Structure 1
Amino acid sequence: MNFRFTDSEVHTLIELLSLATLVAEWNQSTAFQGKMASINALENKIFEYLLHAGYSDVIEFNEPEQRHQVTEDFEKKSSYMLCYDEFRQESFWEELVIRLADRDLAKRIGFDAWNILSEEQRRVHTVELEKRLWKEFEKFGVDHLHLIHPPHEG
């Protein structure tokens, strides 16, 4: 199999591969670790090829880790880290809002009733609460979040 890429397309491919690997690394399940090893091996193989094809300004070999990686300069200049940071931020806030809304819904209707609802049904029941939470977090971040431990704990 042969592909022909322009320099611009190679840079986009490197960003795409780097971003995909960063996102995949979030999956910490033991069942996924074999797949993650395959992803890392493929990334390394492609990066090694690119290094030997003359992309030493973009790809380098990390001797201590024995793997190929993007150069620090490329990482700073490219947009994939900005995309990754935005993904992490949005994932955090969305997950926090959904979990808090689900917690409150389960308290209100009971866990058994909550448990039989589909994800879509839960969202219908929590839409107003989620809107309020989004407004709160957009305005104050986590500043107003406090853990309240039950008596005699924490």
Structure 2
Amino acid sequence: MHLRFTESELATLIQMVSLAANVASVNQKPGAEQGIAAFEDLENKILERASHAGFGEIIEFDEEKQAHRVTLEYEGNSFFQECFEEFREESFWEEMVIRLADRDLIRSIGLPLWEKMSEQERRSRTQDIEKRYWEEFTKHGIERVAVIHPPGEG
């Protein structure tokens, strides 16, 4: 298969494969190594070809990993890094809100009933709680979050 890209399309492809490889590398689940390696191999192949097609100033060879990568300077100012950071930020807050709302629901109805509920039922029951947490975190971040240790643990 042969694909032809404009310079602009190739620049976008470089960012896309770099973003995908960055996201994949965060996966710590057992058995993910093969999938991560496939992403990294494709990234390396595309970046190597792109470096010979006029993008050498933003692509370097990492001796330690024996693979091509975008330069740290380019990555730091890139749209794909902005996307990755925004994704991580939003994922953090969304997960925090859902977990806290689920914790509150479990405290209210008990774990056995919570476990019998579907995800849709849980979200329906925690909608108001989630909204309250979103409002709190939007206004104050984690400033007012505190860990309360049980007696004798801290």
Q: Quick check: TM above 0.5? A: yes
Question: Which residue pairs with 2:138 in the alignment?
Answer: 138
Question: Which residue pairs with 2:85 in the alignment?
Answer: 85
Question: Which residue pairs with 1:118 in the alignment?
Answer: 118
**TM-score (norm: length of structure 2):** 0.94
AA of the residue aligned to 2:82: L
- Structure 2: gaps spanning 5 or more residues: none
Question: Which residue pairs with 1:97 in the alignment?
Answer: 97
Question: Which residue pairs with 2:151 in the alignment?
Answer: 151
Look up the SS of the partner of 2:147 in the other structure: coil
Distance in 2, matches of 1:5 and 1:45, equals: 15
Trace 1:44-55 onto structure 2 (pairs within 5 A).
44-55=44-55
**TM-score (norm: length of structure 1):** 0.94
Aligned 8 A contact 2:47 2:68 in 1: yes
Percent of pairs with identical residues: 50
Distance in 2, matches of 1:76 and 1:147, equals: 34
Look up the SS of the partner of 1:31 in the other structure: coil
AA of the residue aligned to 2:89: Q
Q: Are 2:60 and 1:60 aligned?
A: yes
Question: Structure 1 residues 25 and 64, CA, compared in 2 at 3 Å: closer, same or farther?
Answer: closer
Greater shift in the superposed pair: 63-72 or 2-11: 63-72
Distance in 2, matches of 1:15 and 1:60, equals: 14
Deviation at 1:19, TM superposition (A): 1.0
Aligned 8 A contact 1:17 1:43 in 2: yes
AA of the residue aligned to 1:29: K
Look up the SS of the partner of 1:55 in the other structure: helix
Aligned 8 A contact 1:44 1:67 in 2: yes
Distance in 1, matches of 2:35 and 2:64, equals: 23
Look up the SS of the partner of 1:61 in the other structure: strand
Distance in 1, matches of 2:67 and 2:138, equals: 40
Distance in 2, matches of 1:11 and 1:149, equals: 50
AA of the residue aligned to 1:109: I
Distance in 2, matches of 1:115 and 1:10, equals: 47
Deviation at 1:77, TM superposition (A): 3.8
Look up the SS of the partner of 2:133 in the other structure: helix
* Aligned residues between the structures: 154
Aligned 8 A contact 1:57 1:74 in 2: no
Distance in 2, matches of 1:36 and 1:149, equals: 38
> What root-mean-square deviation, in Å, do the aligned CA atoms of Structure 1 and Structure 2 show?
1.2
Distance in 1, matches of 2:120 and 2:61, equals: 46
Deviation at 1:58, TM superposition (A): 2.2
